[in-house]
Every structure is written in C-alpha cells, then in structure tokens.
Structure 1
Amino acid sequence: MDDLVAEVRAFNRFYTRVIGVLGAGMHDTHYSLTEARVLFELRAHDEMETGTLRRLLGLDAGHLSRMLARFEDGGLVTRARSAADARKQVVRLGPLGAEVAAALDTASAVEVRDLLTPLTGEERRRLTSSMAAIRRILDGGGPRREPYVIRPPRPGDLGWIVHRHGVLYAEEYGWDETFEASVADIVARYVRDHDPKREACWIAEVDGEPAGSILCVREDDRTARLRLLLVEPSTRGMGIGARLVEECLSFARRAGYTRIVLMTVEVLAAARRIYQRAGFELEEQHREHAYGDEITTQTWSRDL
C-alpha cells in the first residue's frame, strides 16, 4: 500500500505542476485556483445558494464567506437573501464578475489546447480516456452511461488481437506459442483475402482501450465462421462477449449466409455459455494434442 500511496502522490505533484496551480495566481492573474473555480461555477448558473456552492466545491463555510465578501467588495458578485428561504443567501455574478470569469475560462481553454497540440491523435485519445477512468473510479465507480463501444478495427488492432490471445491463453490455460501462431495465421488470412461484403471484424472498446474482439469470415457461399472471440478479464461481466456475438450474427444474416459455425475448446466454459444462449448447438467434438496441451475441440453451429 505504501508504494501505491507514493505513486498517487507523485502523480498529484506532477499534475499540479502541469496545470500550474502552484503559482501565485491562475493564468497570470491574482486569482487562486479556488477563486477561479468559484467564479466558474457562478458563471455556469444564474444564481447559487452559498450552501450549495460550498457543498459542491467542498469548501469551509468561513473560507467561502470571506472569499465572497472580497468578491462583493471588488464588484464581482452580489449577495442577497433567498426569496424562497430568508435563512439562505444567494450569490450572483455581476457584470465585472462575468467578464473576469469569461477571461479565466478562455485562458484555461487556451492552456489546455496548448497542452494537447503537440500530442498525436492516439495520445490524445489515451489521455482523455485515462482521465475519464480516473474520474469514474475516484467518483465511486458509478455505472457507466456507455460501458463500451463496438467498432471496426483501427490500425494496430489486428496486432492487438494476436498479442492478447497469445498472452491470455498462456496465462489462463498454459497454452504455448503455437496457439499465438495459429491466431496470427487466422488474422493474416483475414487481411489477405478480406471481402468486406462478406467478412468483418469488430473491436470492443472500454475507456478508449481495446477490450474484446470477434471476426466473421467466409466458410463457403452459404456458411459463415465466427472466429477469435475474446474479452479482456478486466471487462468480463459487462455483456461484451454476447454483444460481439450478436454483431457477428447480424452481419452474417445481412451478408446472405444461411448458417454459421465456430470452433471452440471444451475448457472455455464462459464462451460456450455465450454460444449456447445465442442459439448455437454442439455438432461434434474430439480430443487432440494442440498448443502444448491435451484439449477437446468442439464444433458448434446454428441456422441464420
């Protein structure tokens, strides 16, 4: 735990330096980070009760009261008793306060744009997705509105499929490098002989990172083959596997196939349950030595 604490503190020191909160004022002004944040929230609302503002920002009541008094003396805000409850105080930005808040907001946007400009598109995507993950985790890990997306592969994704199959099946089942070679051969043939009207690949993405895969390839004119279903361990239980299979089946129907088949291994119980729920039935199975292990391979199929 001490190592983790040190790592988080190191990140905090790094990030506060990057966004410049250690200086005397934000964006070359005399306003502190806390003051700038108060002005930002007031700009985002027509008016706010001081109690609501205090709870939103986690501020001490006395600290906020003194800050608002300074703002009022400087002509930035006005304060008045709430018409709904005289015990409560309502604060609003004045014209000068709105001007200052707008200037701070513009300066902040410029600094962030300057921070992002040197980065590649992939680096920007990784940065923002990592930030979203941090926010979600530290905010209590609440439910995601969009837990994952299913998309076509991007450059590098097919290599990721080979890599993750090799790593995960070695870690979880002890399979040797011949399995990774088999996956690489499947992917290479998909790329070499790809017919976009009758074959497709999908990547599941969680927080901007690949989390699953599946391929639909041609077996013959009537039959499609489902290949390379994979779901990252950290994202299992989210329904990704079933969703990928559903995408594959829908594409196969649109492509004109009337039947779909797949090969799996008996030990892959979670995948087998997904196939069964999707309507696949076991056709045949046999024992063989493969991937450095004794396995039972199974062929499953269903009509479309």
Structure 2
Amino acid sequence: MEELVGRVRGFNRFYTRLIGVLGAGMHDTPYSLTEARVLYELGKKDATETGELRRMLDLDAGYLSRMLARFEADGLVTRERSAADARRQVVRLGERGQAVWRTLDDASATGVRALLEPLSEEDRRRLIAAMTTVRQVLADRPAPDRYVIRPPRPGDLGWIVHRHGVLYAEEHGWDETFEALTARIVAEYVEDHDPRREAVWIAEVDGEPAGSVFCVRKDDRTAQLRLLLVEPSARGMGIGGRLVEECLAFAKRTGYERIVLMTVDELAAARRVYQRAGFTLDEQCAKHAYGTKVTEQYWSRSL
C-alpha cells in the first residue's frame, strides 16, 4: 500500500506542475485555482445560487462568501436575494467578470491544445482513456453506456492475445497454453485469411478496445465464430451480443449456410449470449486443457 501511496502522490506532484497550479495564479492571472474554478462555474450560467455553487465545488460557506465579497468589490460579480426564496442569494458575473472568465477559459483551452498537439493520435486516445478511467474510479461515476464496433487497427490483434491471456488467467485460472492458442488463432488469421469471407471486429469504449470477435472460414458452407471477449469494465452494456450479431450478419451476407463455435461450460455469460443468438448445443466433452479441467462445448446454428 505504501508504494501505491507514493506513486499517487508522485503523479499529483507531476500533474500540478504540468497545469501550473503551483504558480502564483492560474494562466498568469491574479486568480488562484479555486477562484478560477468559481468564475468558470459562474460563467456557465446566467445566475447561480451560492448554495448550489458551494455544494458543486465542496467549498466552506465562509470561505466562499469572503471570495464572492472580494469579487463583488472588484466588480466581477453582483449578488442579490433570490426572487423565489429570499433566504437564498444569487450570483451573476458582471461585465468585467465575463471578460475575466473569457480570458481564463481561452487560456485554459490554449494550454490543453499545446499539451495535445505534440502527441500522436494513439497517445491522445490513451491519454483521454486514462483520464476517463481516473474519473470513473475516483468519482464513482456510472459506467459508460456508449460504444462503437469497428475493424481492427494496428496493435488491436496483439491486444486480443494479451487480454485473452490476462483475463482467462485471472478469472478462470487458465495457464499460458491458452494464450499460446489465442496467438496461433490470430497468427493464422493474419497469414492466411480471405477478407471477402473472414473478418474481425473490435468494440471500443471511450477510445479504448473493450471487446473482440472473429468470423473465420471453417469450410465453404460453414463459418466459425472465435475469440469473443468483453472487458469486465464493459460488461452489461450489450457488447457481447452486438459482436455476435455483427459476426452472424457478416457470415450470412458472405454466403455461409451455417456457423459453429467452441466454448467451455464454465463460461456461463458467453453461453447465454450464444443461446440468445440462436445457437444450440451439439455436443460436449470433458478434457484437461489450459492447466485445468474443462468441459468443451460445440454449438451451431443455421444462417
């Protein structure tokens, strides 16, 4: 735990230096980070109640009141009693306050552009995905509800091998022989696939791969669904079913009459996805594989 605490503190120091929080003022202005944040929130609305502002920013009531008094004395804001409830106070940016808000907002956007411009497209995606993860983990935000299905990009096939190896080891105790099998399937696809009758799809959430599926040729009349995977963080979004639907539609469109797949009995969630998609169990057998005992199942359906 102490090592993790040290790494988090190190990241905090790095990021505060990066965005200039340790300087005398934000973006070479006389306003601190907290003051700039208050002005930013006031600039988003025509009028804001002080109670709402305090809850939004988790500020002490006395501290916020003193800050707003300074802003009012400097001509940045106006304060008045709420027409709906005289016990509440409403704050608005004045003309000078709006000018300061625009200066801070423009400077912030310029700083972020300068941060992003030297980065490659891939590094930009990684950065945004990492920021999204931090917000979700620390702010207890709900999981995203949107995803895209797309063809693979460079690096995605390696991701498929890596994530199959990691997840099946973590969740089912499978050894490295399963990762080796996954690598062989991917390598065979790359070396000898027919793009007219075989394809791969990647599910992407917040710019990061979150799922995969392959449709490959078994024989001229039969397709095979392989390597269906959904990241734990993306489960419950319907991604597994959507990937299977994409595979089935492609197989039917390209002239296959039947599609088959192999799974194991222990993968209950995947089995439910296959059943909902119309697959039926043809046969099963117990065997020792991937360093453990499994029950292999063979499923199929007509197209």
* Both proteins in one fold, TM over 0.5: yes
Q: Are 1:133 and 1:207, in contact at CA under 8 Å, matched by a contact in 2?
A: no
Deviations 1:115-146 (A, max 9, x none): 11222211111111111111122222324332
Cα drift, residue 214 of structure 1? 0.7
SS for the counterpart of 2:219 is: coil
Q: How far, CA to CA, are the matches of 2:123 and 2:187 in structure 1?
A: 27
Q: Which moved more, 1:113-122 or 1:282-291?
A: 282-291
Give the count of matched residue pairs: 303
The residue that corresponds to 1:200 in the other structure is: 199
Cα drift, residue 172 of structure 1? 5.3
Q: Are 1:130 and 1:207, in contact at CA under 8 Å, matched by a contact in 2?
A: no
Q: How far, CA to CA, are the matches of 1:121 and 1:167 in structure 2?
A: 26
User: Which residue identity lines up with residue 156 of structure 1 in the other structure?
Assistant: G
Deviations 1:174-222 (A, max 9, x none): 6555544443332233223433342221122344332321101223343
Mapping for residues 42-191 of structure 1, pairs under 5 Å: 42-146=42-146, 148-170=147-169, 177-191=176-190
Q: Are 1:166 and 1:177, in contact at CA under 8 Å, matched by a contact in 2?
A: yes
CA RMSD of aligned residues (A): 2.5
User: Which residue identity lines up with residue 78 of structure 2 in the other structure?
Assistant: T
Q: Which moved more, 1:15-24 or 1:148-157?
A: 148-157
Cα distance, 1:70–1:294 mapped onto 2, change above 3 Å? closer
Q: TM-score, normalised by structure 2?
A: 0.88
The residue that corresponds to 1:211 in the other structure is: 210
Q: How far, CA to CA, are the matches of 2:44 and 2:279 in structure 1?
A: 53
Cα drift, residue 165 of structure 1? 2.9
The residue that corresponds to 2:258 in the other structure is: 259
Stretches of structure 2 that go unaligned for 5 or more consecutive residues are none
Cα distance, 1:282–1:99 mapped onto 2, change above 3 Å? same
The residue that corresponds to 1:220 in the other structure is: 219
Q: Which moved more, 1:63-72 or 1:274-283?
A: 274-283
Deviations 1:141-180 (A, max 9, x none): 324332x433221101112222333444455556555544
Q: Are 2:25 and 2:31, in contact at CA under 8 Å, matched by a contact in 1?
A: yes
Aligned sequence identity (%):
72
The residue that corresponds to 1:20 in the other structure is: 20
Deviations 1:251-280 (A, max 9, x none): 222333331111234444443333223221
Q: How far, CA to CA, are the matches of 2:233 and 2:135 in structure 1?
A: 18
The residue that corresponds to 1:41 in the other structure is: 41
Cα distance, 1:233–1:85 mapped onto 2, change above 3 Å? closer
Q: How far, CA to CA, are the matches of 1:286 and 1:180 in structure 2?
A: 21
Cα distance, 1:235–1:43 mapped onto 2, change above 3 Å? closer
Q: TM-score, normalised by structure 1?
A: 0.88
User: Which residue identity lines up with residue 249 of structure 2 in the other structure?
Assistant: S
Q: Which moved more, 1:136-145 or 1:223-232?
A: 136-145
Cα distance, 1:47–1:171 mapped onto 2, change above 3 Å? closer
Cα drift, residue 31 of structure 1? 0.8
Q: Which moved more, 1:99-108 or 1:155-164?
A: 155-164
Deviations 1:62-110 (A, max 9, x none): 2112111211121111122222222222111111111111011111111
Cα distance, 1:218–1:29 mapped onto 2, change above 3 Å? same
SS for the counterpart of 1:219 is: strand
User: Which residue identity lines up with residue 298 of structure 2 in the other structure?
Assistant: T
Cα distance, 1:4–1:91 mapped onto 2, change above 3 Å? same
Q: How far, CA to CA, are the matches of 2:234 and 2:219 in structure 1?
A: 33
Q: How far, CA to CA, are the matches of 1:97 and 1:136 in structure 2?
A: 33
Cα distance, 1:37–1:168 mapped onto 2, change above 3 Å? closer
Cα distance, 1:41–1:290 mapped onto 2, change above 3 Å? closer
Q: How far, CA to CA, are the matches of 1:91 and 1:120 in structure 2?
A: 42
